[in-house]
Structures are given as C-alpha cells and as structure tokens.
Amino acid sequence: MFIEDKDLASIQEVRNLIRTAKKAQKELAQLNQEQIDTLVKVVTKACYEQREYLAKLAVEETGFGCWEDKVLKNTLASQGVYEEIRDLKTVGVLSEDSKKGITEVALPVGVIAGLIPSTNPTSTVIYKALLALKTGNSIIFSPHPHALKCIEATVAIIQDALKTVGAPAGVVTSIHRVSISATNELMRHKDTKLILATGGTAMVRAAYSSGTPAIGVGPGNGPAYIESSADIPHAVQQILDSKTFDNGVICASEQSIIVDQSNQEAVIAEFQRQGAYFVPDSDAKKLGAAVIQPSGLMNPQMVGKTAPEIGKLAGLSVPETARVLIARETGIGKQHPFSMEKLCPVLGFYTVKDWKEASTLTNSILQNEGIGHTFAIHSQNKEIIRHFSLYTPVSRLLVNTGSALGGVGATTNLFPALTLGCGGIGGSSTSDNISPMNLINVRRIATGQRSLADLRKAENQVAEVVKELKPECSLSDEALIEALVAKVLEKLK
C-alpha cells in the first residue's frame, strides 16, 4: 500500500510551480507596456465583477469580518489599484534626462512569492497579482491554510481572465498542498527572486531569514490621539467607522484611544452616543484575558468578530447594539492586554494631561508593539500635528481620518495597498505602501560628463579660491561659504 508523504509532495508541487513560473516570466518580460497593461486590465475587470462572490466566500471559509466590507476591500484591490497604476510606466525606458545623461530602464525581478493572510485573503491576492503583472513578474501564492478555498477561487478567476488574452501559463499560480515545508521551499528556492510577505510576525520573520530578498510588514498597533482642539463628533465617527470596518481585521486599524483630561468626558459621551460600549472595570480583566492570550498573542477566536460576539465569548453582558468595546488602560505590555494589537472591535482607552504626555505615551505603546506602522491624530492644531509628524516612529501618520481606511489609501491619497511597510525601525525593508515600483529593478545608463582632467582642474581651482579668501577668514561661516561658492562658480564659467 502506497502512503504519500505530504511534505515531500508539497515541496515537489512548489518546485513544479516555480519551474513553470520562471518560464512564464521570461515570456512576460518580452511584452511591451501596452501588452502588459492589457493583462492588468482584464484581470482587474474579472476580479471586480466577482468582488461580492469572493467576499462572501472569504467570510464563509474564515469566519473573519463581514462580507459587505470585504466587497469594498476587493474593490480597492482591483479597481482602486488599477486606477492608480493604469498610466504608470513599468516596462522598458522609464525616463531619459539628456541634460544629465541619465536613462532609467525598468527590469522585472522574476518569480515572486506572495504570502497571503487569512484576514484579507481575496483582496490581497488581487492586489499582489496586479502589482506583479504590471511589472512583468510572475507570482506564486502561498495561501494561509484557513483561507485556501477562497484564495484558490481568486487565483482561478485571475487565470481564466489571463487565458482570454493569451498570457503565458503559470504567470499567476498558487500552492494547493499547503504546508510549512511548501512555503519554506517557495521562499528559499534559488529561482524565487522576491518575497511579498503579508501576515503574522512569525511568517514575516521567516521570510526575512529565508535568504531571499523580502518585503514584509510588522504588526500594527496604532494608537489614535484625540487632541483637545479636535472636532470630537467627527473624530469619534472616523474611529468607529474605521475600527468596525470588516470587524477590525485591517492591521492599520486603531488599537487604542488617547485623550486629554480636558476633553475626556466629552469624548466618552460622544463614543457612547455613537454606539461604543465602555466595559466596566470589573469586567475589563475578563475581556482582556479573552482577547489576548498570556503569551501576548491574540486569541484567534476573537479575530474579526463583532462586539456582541466578543462579549459572549468572553462571558460578558454586552448590548447587542454595541459597535465597539472600550476598556480603560493605564499600562503597556502583554500584562496590559488593551495596549496590544487586537484585530477585532476592541479598544484601549488612555487619559493624559496634555499633548506632550500623549506623544510620550504614543511612542511607548509603539515601542512595545507596532513601531514603524501607523498612527492617527485628530486635531486642528497644526503645530501639535507637526510635532507628532516629526517625532512619532511610524511610516504613516494620518490626520483627521480613520486609521484603517486611511492607512490603506482608501480615504487618503496614499497608494492603495494591502501590504504596508514599516521601514527599518519596524524591521521592514521599506516604509512604503507597496506599489509596482517596489517590484522592479532600475538599470541606470549614465553618459560620461566629465574627465579626470576636468576633476583635477576643478580641484586646483577650488584650492586657488581658498588661498584668495584667506584675508576674508574673519567672515562668518555662512558668509565665507557664500563667497567661496561665488568665486568657484566664476572660475568654472
């Protein structure tokens, strides 16, 4: 009797996919910009038309979020991304500067590994496929096992669309025999040239340690600060709309609220008026233990559930009308669960003396978890906003808008993205909202403008000017520099 070794079978599947994807990518690299744009257009149309079907499939399989909001995410990932990249040049000559003698040429990286989370499965597949196609790359998806069916359904729609325009087979594919061994083989294979990793911390770390160049994201744990000059009803509306969108599974969504003592009562009253439920202190410990495990990790049973569902799972009496559960918090760290990332409609609530204390608290929260990701401020004070923009360790600072939809570019003019870089400070290779420009290499052709003799002549002329300026050394540093530059330019004419 033959017993199949599942790990070996999954590894072999990945090797076959990579072989096919490599061949397909070489064919794709021969297409011009117009041909590439045709592929992008047909895939966008197909995914947009199936946005509702895919949204319902994702919720049915994963149990995370609500399908109505996933429809909007699928729209952003398809039509929203398409509108942003439609006229973007990504193939062949990107730019020519005859004056400087510099020409830039786009080069695809090759085979891309796309790691997909269970929280945003269909939208992330659409988004990454469009980015890969736009840049002449092939992509192989490694699905989260709890979202395999909806991811495969999305890939099938993309493949069918590509067939209609004669795209090479194997340009967009997905692992069917999902396993850790298969994902590791995909990430470490010599023919995989780049990893696009969206998911949990452990998976992103594995991508960065694979030896293959990777673009990954860190955890989100962004606070939202309602400063004393804020339009409180508007701020509360933005936060609630953001935190309840798809039941809070977007990593850029707010995780805690910081308010000044001066506006605390008004903010609480407005949250209650708009449907938030403040958990009594006697129940907060119970809720915190249910949402965040002793290890500091989220309880997966709580992810993407509604506020009343979370209340029931935690054994609390929560109004059926509650949009978000809010609990007071004073500390930071895994012993203080409301200070941690919670991909569900649960928020921590901090009170501070003033904006300076809010800035210090914000940085402490982010240093513990979520550094480099996203922060939102609600304020009309431009000087305070400027301070936070200069000294808050995040890659996206959002002003007077919801963090979830603002971070992914839906309510802001940031690039519409479902992979959000956290920069070097957050352990990422980039701080960008990942776009096609992150998936190409640029070859720069440079024409000689100066000779060695020219360089030596310029050096000698500078030395002469310095000698001439010795009597002027009494000038201030700024005046001396200005005089030096003026005389050098005069001699170089």
Query: Considering the domain boundaries, does residue 259 fall inside one?
Result: yes
Q: Are residues 147 and 10 in the same domain?
A: yes
* Buried/exposed 189-218: b ≥16 CB within 10 Å, e otherwise: beebbbbbbbbbeebbebbbebebebbbbb
Tell me the angle at which helices 148-163 and 33-49 cross, rounded to the nearest 10 degrees. Answer: 130
Catalytic residue among 47, 150, 251, 422: 251
Instruction: Determine what percent of the chain falls in helix, strand and coil, rounding each to the nearest 5.
Output: 50, 15, 35
Q: Does 247 map to a domain?
A: yes
- CATH no. for residue 280? 3.40.309.10
On whether both 266 and 355 belong to a single domain, the answer is yes
CA 191 to chain centre: 25
pLDDT 10s digits, 246-272: 999 999 999 999 999 999 999 999 999
Query: Is residue 434 helix, strand or coil?
Result: coil
3 near 171, Cβ under 8 Å? Answer: no
pTM for this prediction: 0.91
Q: What is the mean pLDDT of residues 102-120?
A: 96
Residue 80 located in a structural domain: yes
Are 479 and 399 part of one and the same domain? no
Q: Are residues 233 and 100 in the same domain?
A: no
Give the model's pLDDT for residue 478: 62
What's the token pair of residue 25? 């990518």
Task: Give 86-95 contacts, CB < 8 A, sequence gap 24+.
Answer: 86/37, 86/40, 88/134, 88/436, 88/437, 89/33, 90/33, 90/36, 90/134, 90/135, 90/136, 90/436, 90/437, 90/440, 91/31, 91/32, 91/33, 91/36, 91/135, 91/136, 92/32, 92/33, 94/442
Position 346 in a domain = yes
* 191 plus 243 within the same structural domain: no
Same domain, 162 and 279: no
**Whether residue 40 is found in the same domain as residue 189:** yes
- Do 372 and 439 share a domain, yes or no? no
Domain count of the chain? 3
List, for residues 336-394, the tens digit of each pLDDT value.
Answer: 999 999 999 999 999 999 999 999 999 999 999 999 999 999 999 999 999 999 999 99
pLDDT category of residue 397 using cuts at 50, 70 and 90: very high
422 is catalytic: no
How confident is the model over 456-478, as a mean pLDDT?
67
* pLDDT one-digit tens code per residue, 185-208: 999 999 999 999 987 777 888 888
Q: Strands across the sheet with 192-197, in order? A: 172-174, 138-142, 111-115, 192-197, 214-216
Say whether both 262 and 369 belong to one domain.
yes
DSSP alpha helix (H) spans, 209-280: 232-244, 264-273
SS (H, E, C) 391-408: HCCEEEEEECCCHHHHHC
- Do 321 and 370 belong to one domain? yes
Q: Which domain holds residue 182?
A: 6-217+435-443
- Give 324's pLDDT tier (boundaries 50, 70, 90): very high
